Amino acid sequence: MFSRCTDLRSPVWLCGTVARIRGHMSVLSLETRVRVASCLVDGVSIRATERITGVHRDTVMRFGLLLGEGAAKLHDRLVRGVPCPLLQCDEAWTFCHTKEARVGPADPKEWGDQYVYIGLDVNSRAIISYLIGKRDGEHADRFALDLRGRIVGRPQISSDGFVPYVHAVWQAFGYDVDFAQVVKNYRTGARKGPDHRYEPPRDPFITRTVVAGKPNAKDISTSYVERQNMQLRSCIKRMARLTNAYSKKKRNLDAAVALHVFWYNYGTIHGSLRVTPAIQAGLTSHVWSLDELIAEAMAAADAPAPPPVTPAPPLVPLPKEPWRKPEQFALPFGDPPASPAPPQLPKETPGPRSGLRIIKGGLS
């Protein structure tokens, strides 16, 4: 018998599990909530969580939705003013309810392909900004504006070859950015194998294109954010391929991604950094526990949303590529600016007594 809870916001959960019948509520205990949350952040499906914890799947869904929406507000409020000299951006594909090829004209707009935009800080491995939506210019603009509002300083951004990124980065950053795109070219045509969707690339090569500013050539890469895409599919069961655990509603997908992003930043110790990404980025001083996450997220779920990070700037025409400030036009790609040589002082002509030396003690 699985316990079903109808009221997840009540403060009675601090006192233990309360079970009533005939229309009254059942409130999960803190221990049960931690067990459910630990399953959800580790990529366990809803029905598997039901079997592991003994909590009804409808309760798991409602609790995960509240927890994810609270985590989204926490991320929006806490992840601001982050110094990020190096950023990598990419999108991970998933779908909602129906794959794009089978979406009809009368179906809701949220059905079909959905993409998770990720903006990753290279130095701290923290996810600074994320967005779930269609892969188009509108969502790319929203993602770039949100990313700009959460960082300080002039960043170097590397992204894949998604064309709307050029306009989005220009609208969000203007001249105050060094931006390059990375395009990976794989083998195409009749030489592909019968299962080419999952076979490794045989002859890959990377094309790096400078779009704006003067990015450092050795830092033009999307390797870290592509590794984060694997983290998404490992820790969010809704994004796992070839399963029936995909999202049927976009609201649930948004909550699941928000929960993963916040727990990855604040509660997951990075393997190479030995601290959480949030600690490395200076956003917190300790590793968050699930108890703390649940308490803060539930409190944030009922709180009003924080103000937007930055107002939308006025639209201006996109300059010619690559756009640079006037003082950057003469700089070579990838090389640091050369410091001016010190002025050469004229040599003084030696006088008639310049070759004489005074020896202490006089003549010997």
State which residues form the domain around 37.
Answer: 11-302
Terminal-residue alpha carbon distance, the chain: 114
Mean pLDDT computed over 333-345: 57
- Within a domain: 340: no
pLDDT in tens, 175-210: 899 999 998 876 655 555 555 566 555 555 788 999
- Within a domain: 354: no
State residue 86 phi and psi, 5-degree precision.
-130, 125
- Within a domain: 358: no
CATH of residue 183's domain is: 3.30.420.10
Banded pLDDT at 250 (limits 50, 70, 90): very high
- Within a domain: 123: yes
What percent of the chain has a predicted confidence (pLDDT) above 90? Answer: 66
- Within a domain: 222: yes
- Give pLDDT, residue 327: 57
Please indicate, yes or no, whether the overall pTM of this predicted structure exceeds 0.95: no
User: In 68-152, where do the E strands start and end?
Assistant: 82-83, 86-96, 112-121, 127-133, 151-152
Domains identified in the chain, total number: 1
- Give pLDDT, residue 308: 81
pLDDT in tens, 72-100: 999 999 999 999 999 999 999 999 999 99
DSSP run (H or E) holding 228: helix 223-235
- Within a domain: 347: no
- Within a domain: 197: yes
pLDDT for 21 beyond 60:
no
